[in-house]
């Protein structure tokens, strides 16, 4: 009897160790598959955004109605131009560390699984003020993995529907997660990139700042041509709303919503493994395992996806 108990415990420990190892593999590589698929979709979405922003070709003979003065004096951007959460808002390129990603609107866990996220309530990149972007450092493609390698003078290019904007890195610092003041408006036109520090930990935040190299959108460029402004979340959000969380990226945690799905898929994973084991006892073990490995890995992947949401957020 003791031998059976010890044998059972030994198998449980081995299975647990294999699951932990598979979860580490999922964290480091599986999440990158999720991000890559999302970025492919966002590439198409952003191409559509840029195409819609291009001015229509001028008419050869404009009609009198087209040239007649209008009585409207409103300069506010239409509500439809406000970026929706999860939508593609910019392309972020950092040649020095090999970053080329589509930026989404929002910094929730769901948003950052798809790529770097723009902080709602801050200006969009290229606009006047402090535009802020958060990104993962070790999972989901790890776009900001090498962010600490940036040096003053390194170029950061951001493309939005308003054009291409170039920033020059001015410095970096490591701060406590509660230092939400790094997202404040400092009276200049800057880009702030945030991620967790050190790698594989959310104990601190690494902050990289860069200065805009040209007049912001909505002002006048070097050729005295007006750059048309576009609606920004800052127009509908207050600084109080932006800093309501106690930490930088404080809205990242969605563990409460993931508890039930994680339990459900955990039972599904155990059930799938049990069915494969029983099939192996009743029929040929090799055949049962070969037929069951793909369904098991699919269910396990979904379980890990929900289990990952229960962990402390780490960008």
Residue with tokens 């070790």: 138
Active site amino acids: 136, 196
Per-residue confidence at 137, pLDDT binned at 50, 70, 90? Answer: very high
Say which range, 68-82, 122-136, 171-185, 278-292, has the weakest mean pLDDT. 68-82
- The total number of structural domains in the chain stands at 1
Given this model, what pLDDT does residue 141 score?
Answer: 93
The answer to whether position 98 is within a domain reads yes
Considering the entire predicted model, what is its pTM? 0.76
Reading the block at residue 141, the tokens are 């493609």
Reading the block at residue 25, the tokens are 């593999």
Question: In angstroms, rounded to a whole number, what is the distance separating the alpha carbons of residues 9 and 11?
Answer: 5
Per-residue confidence at 202, pLDDT binned at 50, 70, 90? Answer: confident
Q: Where are the alpha helices (DSSP H) in 146-284?
A: 239-242, 255-282
Question: In angstroms, rounded to a whole number, what is the distance separating the alpha carbons of residues 147 and 96?
Answer: 9
- CB 303 within 8 Å of CB 261: no
DSSP bridge pairs for 204: 197
Q: Which CATH number belongs to the domain containing residue 213 in this structure?
A: 2.40.260.10
- CB 219 within 8 Å of CB 205: no
Task: Compare 76 and 282 and report the one with higher pLDDT.
Answer: 282
Task: Compare 224 and 40 and report the one with higher pLDDT.
Answer: 40
Reading the block at residue 107, the tokens are 């910094």
Q: Averaging pLDDT over each range in 6-10, 28-32, 43-47, 54-58, which range is the top one?
A: 43-47
The answer to whether position 66 is within a domain reads no
The answer to whether position 60 is within a domain reads no
Residue 8 has a CB neighbour count (10 Å cut-off) of 10
The answer to whether position 126 is within a domain reads yes
Task: Give the mean model confidence (pLDDT) for residues 104-119.
Answer: 94
Of 213, 180, 207, 205, the residue nearest 193 (C-alpha): 207
The answer to whether position 58 is within a domain reads no
Given this model, what pLDDT does residue 242 score?
Answer: 43
The answer to whether position 241 is within a domain reads yes
Task: Give the mean model confidence (pLDDT) for residues 174-194.
Answer: 95
Task: Compare 39 and 226 and report the one with higher pLDDT.
Answer: 39
DSSP bridge pairs for 216: none
pLDDT digits (tens, 9 = 90+) for 237-255: 333 334 444 466 544 455 5
Question: Domain limits at 195?
Answer: 83-251
Long-range contacts of 255-259 (CB under 8 A, 24+ apart): 255/309, 255/310, 255/311, 257/309, 258/306, 258/307, 258/309, 258/310, 259/310
Per-residue confidence at 178, pLDDT binned at 50, 70, 90? Answer: very high
Question: In angstroms, rounded to a whole number, what is the distance separating the alpha carbons of residues 114 and 102?
Answer: 9
- CB 23 within 8 Å of CB 304: yes
Of 183, 194, 95, 177, the residue nearest 136 (C-alpha): 194
Q: What is the rounded (10 degree) CA torsion for 286, 1, 272, 293?
A: -30
Per-residue confidence at 225, pLDDT binned at 50, 70, 90? Answer: very low
Given this model, what pLDDT does residue 27 score?
Answer: 80
The answer to whether position 156 is within a domain reads yes
């Amino acid at each position: 009897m003791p031998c059976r108990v010890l044998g059972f415990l030994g198998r449980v420990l081995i299975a647990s160790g294999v699951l932990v190892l598979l979860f580490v593999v999922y964290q480091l590589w599986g999440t990158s598959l999720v991000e890559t698929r999302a970025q492919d979709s966002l590439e198409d979405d952003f191409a559509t955004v840029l195409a819609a922003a291009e001015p229509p070709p001028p008419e050869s003979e404009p009609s009198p109605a087209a040239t007649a003065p209008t009585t409207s004096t409103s300069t506010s951007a239409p509500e439809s131009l406000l970026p929706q959460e999860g939508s593609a808002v910019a392309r972020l390129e950092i040649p020095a560390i090999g970053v080329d990603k589509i930026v989404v609107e929002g910094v929730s866990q769901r948003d950052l699984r798809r790529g770097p996220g723009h902080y709602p309530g801050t200006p969009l990149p290229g606009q006047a003020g402090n535009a802020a972007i958060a990104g993962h450092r070790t999972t989901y493609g790890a776009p900001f993995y090498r962010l600490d390698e940036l040096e003053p003078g390194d170029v950061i290019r951001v493309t939005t529907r308003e054009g291409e904007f170039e920033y020059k890195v001015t410095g970096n610092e490591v701060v406590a997660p509660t230092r939400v003041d790094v997202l404040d408006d400092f009276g200049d036109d800057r880009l702030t990139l945030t991620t967790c520090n050190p790698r594989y930990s959310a104990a601190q935040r690494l902050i990289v700042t860069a200065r805009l190299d040209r007049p912001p959108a909505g002002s006048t460029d070097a050729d005295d041509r007006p750059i048309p402004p576009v609606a920004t979340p800052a127009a509908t959000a207050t600084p109080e709303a932006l800093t309501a969380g106690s930490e930088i990226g404080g809205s990242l945690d969605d563990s409460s919503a993931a508890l039930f799905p994680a339990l459900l898929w955990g039972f599904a994973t155990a059930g799938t493994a049990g069915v494969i084991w029983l099939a192996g006892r009743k029929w040929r073990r090799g055949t049962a395992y070969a037929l069951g490995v793909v369904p098991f890995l699919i269910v396990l992947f979904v379980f890990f996806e929900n289990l990952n949401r229960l962990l402390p957020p780490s960008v």
